[in-house]
Structure 1
Amino acid sequence: MRRAVDAAGRRGPGPRARCARPASRHRAGGRIAVTDLVRPDGRSPGRSQGRSDGRSGGYPDWRPARARSVTLRHDRVRGLDLLILPERVVVLRGAAASILALCDGERDVRAIVAELERRHPGAPVADEVPVFLDRLRHEGWLR
């Protein structure tokens, strides 16, 4: 078996020996960050819970819809609901996926709250859902 010899006279493995791993694994930004939408204490992560312009609860005309680059998927293997974003995946817990499924651009926030109150009687939907939607809007995941 012939071995390649470099300019210094050292023998090496030959000109065709390369790294066995594909280059895509080493590319910057190739990793997928998985974050939870809700912290262990039950609150959503981030800076603040409300809007800075005073419109925290009053959404008379906002019809939330997912941003164009955001996709809602269900992972059948793991049994998880996922929000697919550019270069990031968000794991949804609890009723987050059912809330986002109602964000189709046709219903306003009041209609979404009314539908969720019908599905989950006795839950604090009217207090928590507008704050949750506002948080997603602040993140840029809803428009």
Structure 2
Amino acid sequence: MRLSRDEIKMKLKEWNLAWNKHDLEKVMELFHEDVFFENWTGAYVKGKKNLRKVWASWFENHGNFRFLEAETFVDEKVQKVLYRWVLEWPSMEPDFEDKPEIRKGVDVIHFKDGKIINKLTYTKTTLEIDNTRYSLHL
């Protein structure tokens, strides 16, 4: 099943809405059973069931967060997306706990059979708090 450009954009809109509603089950509906996810640290997970387990604790423990779409590039022919985002959430950084924090990143997303099969996440190594940029504690 190949998605049209408009179908891919609609799936991403649904996906972003599910993230911002903190609806893990709705987020997971858009993933292929054989999904490969690599986060910004290089850690990775294979398989939808394993990804759900990893993300369940993230959804439960990371407070109020939301993703804002900054820019999206869709290549319908190869079923790939470059999705640039901004994450707003309460900081967990030392000395800034619970202050509003902004992180910026990019997801490289591949679709197969109408579902997300690969999600590769890259993020800046800086964050913003009170309009000041700080290095992440890596």
Q: Which has the higher strand share?
A: 2
TM-score where L is the length of structure 1: 0.25
- Greater radius of gyration (CA): 1
TM-score where L is the length of structure 2: 0.26
